[in-house]
Amino acid sequence: MMDHQTLVEGLSRGEWVPLAAEASALPLTLLPDGPGVVLSSGGSTGGRRCCLHPIANLDLSAAATAEWLEGIGLDPARSVIFNPLPLTHVSGLLPWWRSRAWGVSHQRLERDLMKSPSALLERCRAVDGWRQGSALLSLVPTQLARLLAHPDGVAALERFSVIWVGGAALPETLSDRARSADLPLAPCYGATETAAMVAALPPQRFLAGERGCGDPLPDVELRVTTDGSLDVRTQRHALAGWCPDQPDQLQRLVDGSGWWRSGDRATLRPGLEILGRRDTAIHSGGETVFPEQLEARLQRFIQRSCLPVQALLLLGEDDPEWGQRLVALVRTSDPTGLQQLQRHTDSWPVAERPRRWLSCPDLEPSAEGKWQRRRWREWLERLDLSDG
């Protein structure tokens, strides 16, 4: 496991430091002059790619985040950064890098600590001098949900000036609970390819009820294409991508005008709102259906009805008549929860209505809060083979 000291030593020698496990197979002859880091991207649908970022990109990202903070009245140089995310992912690397760029304290929050709200609260209380400035925190939705479910978790979150939430879609149910607790959430959007955040919603606007991920950071341009795809242009795009299944070449990530096409569909009205993954949308009976939007609708029903449902995922599967139909995977402590969900969707349009509802006791997102949809499609295929 890579630690901060090893990373610093490698960069100081002018090396490319692999933070992605699969990068050990990347031929050294392909690497440009360093120093830099090689990070893993992908995972939401199972595909993997490594991204090459020189340290200049990390500096640009930290500077853009600092300017965003100044825009909402906070001084980056008087902040304390709390980081529960792994160094091997861009979401965990950049909080630490910001602390170096801004000359401020970086407080590492271990994974087990994030599962114990009471211990987390005590840890926050023990940090010297943090009330003299701004306490900043980055979370994924899974971590936020766990903390919101416990009074000490809410008490810990109340101590922060900004709580960036990214890495996966933020369910409206969590947004509503955070607003009820008056928590300064800043839903954000970014990618490994862009060296983390490219858009963020200020807490004041979040608490006022605004949805989405806010406006682009100062060094970022966003556009939505005619088919709804989100494009990003910035000076901190990864130099290149590298895939293990094409080991002898690097991939160019941007077009001739510097635009990178993300894997998401979005709207800009005027703030950024993500509609869903381009590669998870299904086409059913001539309709384009975004499973993430339907999952959010069902999560609202689960919360409103207090159903004993812990996880829910919608996947597309081939259908000879409709092209594709949805199947629902559900982790629940009571079978009646699954039954109530099914009855709730009986009046939905056929294209949006799952044709199958399956109990999946092990269903959960990754540690980073992302749904590894390929993994659960394979689970579904194994289930169908065993039933056949």
Write down which residue in 277, 304, 319 finishes a domain: 277
Range of the domain at 214: 4-277
In this prediction, residue 77 carries a pLDDT of: 96
Would you place residue 1 in the very low, low, confident or very high pLDDT band (cuts 50, 70, 90)?
low
Instruction: Output DSSP code: residue 256.
Output: T
Q: Write down the mean pLDDT value for the chain.
A: 90
Kindly state whether residues 35 and 180 are assigned to the same domain: yes
Question: Are 30 and 15 part of one and the same domain?
Answer: yes
For residues 383 and 219, the model is more confident at 219
Q: How far apart are CA 272 and CA 127, in angstroms?
A: 35
Task: Decide if pLDDT at 165 tops 90.
Answer: yes
Please tell me whether residues 333 and 244 are part of one structural domain: no
Residue 259 pLDDT:
97
One domain, residues 266 and 305: no
Do residue 222 and residue 341 come from a single domain? no
Mean pLDDT of 5-22: 92
Q: How many domains in the chain? A: 2
Q: What is the dihedral sign for C-alpha 29, 34, 35, 40?
A: negative
Angle between helical axes of 117-126 and 141-148 (0-180°, round to 10): 100
Same domain, 215 and 258: yes
What is the phi/psi pair of residue 187, to 5°?
-55, 135
Is 290 in the same domain as 320?
yes
Question: Residue 246 — very low, low, confident or very high, per pLDDT cuts 50/70/90?
Answer: confident
Q: Which of 141-145, 175-179, 384-388 has the lowest mean pLDDT?
A: 384-388
Neighbouring C-alpha atoms within 13 Å toward the C-beta of 273: 14
Task: In whole angstroms, give the CA distance from residue 131 to residue 125.
Answer: 10
Last residue of a domain, one of 277, 308, 327: 277
pLDDT at 223 over 90: yes
The CATH number for 246's domain is 3.40.50.12780
pLDDT tens digits along 53-87: 999 999 999 999 999 999 999 999 999 999 999 89
Please, which pLDDT band fits residue 132 given cuts at 50, 70 and 90?
Answer: low
Give residue 214's region: left, alpha or beta (phi > 0; psi -120 to 50). left
Of 235, 252, 277, the residue at which a domain comes to its end is 277
CATH number where 326 lies = 3.30.300.30
Per-residue model confidence as pLDDT tens digits over 35-48: 999 998 854 334 56
Q: Provide, rounded to the nearest whole percent, the portion of the chain with pLDDT above 90.
A: 66
pLDDT for position 232:
98
Regarding whether 116 and 32 lie in a shared domain, the answer is yes
Sequence-distant (≥ 6) Cβ neighbours of residue 278 within 8 angstroms: 229, 263, 264, 265
